[in-house]
Amino acid sequence: MCRLFGFRSAVPAAVHPALVTERNSLVIQSREHKDGWGIAAYGVESQPKVAHGVGPAHSDPDFHRVSSLVSSHTVVAHVRLASVGAVELRNSHPFLYGHWSFVHNGTLKNFEQHRGAVEALIREDLRKNIRGTTDSERCFHIFLTQLASRNALEGTVRMEDVAIALAETMERVAAITDEPGQERSAMNFLVTNGEVMVATRRNRTLFLSDGRRADSSKAAPIQHGTRLDQLLIASEALCGNHTAWDAVSEDEVIGVDGRLVVHRWRLSDLTVVG
């Protein structure tokens, strides 16, 4: 298991509180999820600047230093509890391809047994880019394969194509790894190109917030079609009772497009494998 965090804002903003100082920040969560960390932040360039570590974030000065410096309109962060793949730098999230960054909270069931079949879902030229040994990096490249069948991997991308590609990744992987009557593969994914940001929930908790205080009279659930100033996505609510967080439903796909308009789908609403 791992913990993930995504931030998308209309203007660059600091994420140090969410990563370090809040009551349930990623630093606090890293006391359990201690097998590496990563932060990707998008600036004026299309490709993100990325920092990784292999130790616990809470005791790594580099995590604190990077967190204090990041001010961006798009940030992805991750703390890892290793389940598949050794604790080493190449297995630390986020995983990158061009301007895409990807993190995963969860584990594929019976992965070693099904590794070959999972890898067969990846387009051959993309498969050559895999560097590590995790199930997560392979899920990322399945997503890229699915997205590339609808949309160029570089340049402008349709929000719906990203959501469909993630949904199809979940369905194709589950068809291989999941057994009737057993616990399902956990696939909380989060992916962004710096503009579009999309996340899925499957067999792990996931929350989203627009940053309003929990005691705000306007703190109603975030609806499909709402335009936000900022969106936060996290495995756990980060701020205790200070910020309003909505629970994402099981088998829901959520995110924002380049204009920060919220999109929410049930997995069954998207075009997925039959």
Q: Provide the domain limits for residue 62.
A: 2-269
Q: What is the tens place of the pLDDT at every residue in 89-100?
A: 999 999 999 999
Is there a domain that residue 151 lies in? yes
Beta strands in the chain (DSSP E): 2-14, 37-42, 49-53, 71-80, 95-97, 100-105, 188-192, 197-201, 207-209, 230-234, 246-247, 252-256, 262-266
pTM: 0.94
pLDDT band at 131 (very low <50, low <70, confident <90, very high): very high
- Name residue, tokens 């995963």: 104
- Residue 259 above 70 pLDDT? yes
Is there a domain that residue 274 lies in? no
CB burial class (10 A; 0-12, 13-18, 19+) of residue 240?
Answer: exposed
- Name residue, tokens 């932060």: 39
d(CA 187, CA 178): 12
Weakest mean pLDDT among 147-151, 232-236, 242-246: 242-246
Is there a domain that residue 101 lies in? yes
What is the tally of structural domains in the chain? 1
- Please compute the mean of the pLDDT values over residues 67-81 and round it to a whole number: 93
CATH number of the domain at 61, please: 3.60.20.10
Check residue 274 and give its pLDDT. 46
pLDDT band at 271 (very low <50, low <70, confident <90, very high): low
Q: What is the tens place of the pLDDT at every residue in 210-233?
A: 988 766 655 678 999 999 999 999
- Give the chain's largest Cα–Cα span: 52
